[in-house]
Amino acid sequence: MNAASDNVQIARKMLAGASCWVLTDGKAGDVAPCLGLAQALGLVVETRVVRPRGLFALLAPRGPIDPAERPNEPGSPIAPPYPQALIASGRRAVPYLRHVRRASGGKTFTIFLKDPRVDPRVADVVWVAEHDRMRGENVIATLAAPHLVTHVALSAARENPDPRIAALPEPRMALLIGGASRHYDFLEKDAISLIGVVESMILTGGSAMITPSRRTPRELLARLRGVCADAPKHTFLWDGTGDNPYIQMLAHASTIVVTADSTNMVGEAIATDAPVMIYEPTGGNARLARFIRAVVASGRARRWHGRLESWPCLAHDDTPTIADEIARRYALFRAER
């Protein structure tokens, strides 16, 4: 072990067990990366949700916190005592992070995930994806976001398979579906293509494990239910009730197809050792196109071209790298105080 590695391990020990707030407006796409990073750092987490009212939500990230959520108000998400560390994500959380940093006298180590849409110095450390343009002395950039799809979690899922997943014949394909967004639409041709992915697995004797999101169009979901009803022994569609066996699907998939609208899901898919194909719905933008190109160029994924493919690949997980760098910066932060 070299000196740099020794220093990182010392820094990790300094941060492990520290109190931490995960501060978001509750969106799953913001909460999960924060929890993934907190877990990797060994922090003691308390989840806090901000709910700024109309005008204050619109003014974020540059505006103030909602006066109804000031620290001295009942039920405030930022009521002291302040934690040793704070991990935030989402533009509505920015004013609250800024407030805690100031109110704590700079003693709370603040981390923001994704572009805060303001000066990155709003937090002690900012993580962004490489396809974002933001850079700075306190900015960390990696291909994928931190997440909870760890080697340990995948191994545990394989050792204790969900009966609904274990009953499906191999090979198993996981289909991770996002939904309509500012940049993507799921049109009729997209519905036909995604249904075709499922039908191709059924026809080959394999199986399809499908997890939709809250954004998945109802029409598409209804049609997928119909396909699954016709082949119940070869399909599993999570219907939104109970725990989502998402990790189980990733752990037991021999191949994964994921829609391009969710960079989080793409990052989680490539953290497995299964081949990953990215289906691009109608639309897109330059920023997301850069991300897809980078993931494909890494060799970890391929674009969907109408058929399932297989190739040898290794898991790509940036979470430990991000955690190491944040721990190193935390040690410097504490040394300066």
Q: Are residues 291 and 157 in the same domain?
A: yes
pLDDT in tens, 275-295: 999 999 999 999 999 999 999
Q: Do residues 304 and 277 lie in contact, with contact meaning Cβ atoms separated by under 8 Å?
A: yes
Q: Helix, strand or coil for residue 215?
A: coil
Q: Do residues 167 and 201 lie in contact, with contact meaning Cβ atoms separated by under 8 Å?
A: no
Q: Do residues 336 and 135 lie in contact, with contact meaning Cβ atoms separated by under 8 Å?
A: no
**Residue 188 included in any domain:** yes
Backbone angles phi, psi at 315, to 5 degrees: -65, 140
Identity (one letter) of the amino acid at 78?
I
pLDDT at 168: 98
pLDDT in tens, 138-174: 999 999 999 999 999 999 999 999 999 999 999 999 9
Q: Do residues 73 and 5 lie in contact, with contact meaning Cβ atoms separated by under 8 Å?
A: no
pLDDT at 219: 95
Q: Residue 185 sits in which domain range?
A: 151-303
Q: Are residues 90 and 44 in the same domain?
A: yes
Q: Are residues 156 and 293 in the same domain?
A: yes
pLDDT band at residue 337, thresholds of 50, 70 and 90? Answer: confident
Q: Do residues 14 and 330 lie in contact, with contact meaning Cβ atoms separated by under 8 Å?
A: yes
Q: Is the pLDDT of residue 11 over 90?
A: no
Q: What is the mean pLDDT of the chain?
A: 95
Q: Are residues 142 and 156 in the same domain?
A: no
pLDDT in tens, 43-63: 999 999 999 999 999 999 999
Q: Are residues 131 and 171 in the same domain?
A: no
Q: Are residues 325 and 285 in the same domain?
A: no
Specify the CATH number for the domain of residue 17: 3.40.50
> What is the domain count for the chain?
2
Q: What is the CA 329 to chain-centroid distance, rounded?
A: 22
302, with CB counted inside 10 A (0-12, 13-18, 19+), is: middle
Q: Is the pLDDT of residue 10 over 90?
A: no
Q: Are residues 20 and 123 in the same domain?
A: yes
Q: Are residues 244 and 324 in the same domain?
A: no
pLDDT at 3: 57
Residue with tokens 């897109």: 284
What would the two tokens of residue 34 be? 């924060």
Which candidate, 213, 326, 197, 196, places its Cα nearest to that of 268?
213
pLDDT in tens, 189-245: 999 999 999 999 999 999 999 999 989 999 999 999 999 999 999 999 998 888 889
d(CA 255, CA 309): 8
> Cα dist. 146→77, 104, 127, 140 in Å?
23, 26, 9, 12
Between residues 162 and 10, the one the model is more confident about: 162
pLDDT at 7: 81
pLDDT in tens, 75-127: 999 999 999 999 999 999 999 999 999 999 999 999 999 999 999 999 999 99
Residue with tokens 């190109």: 293
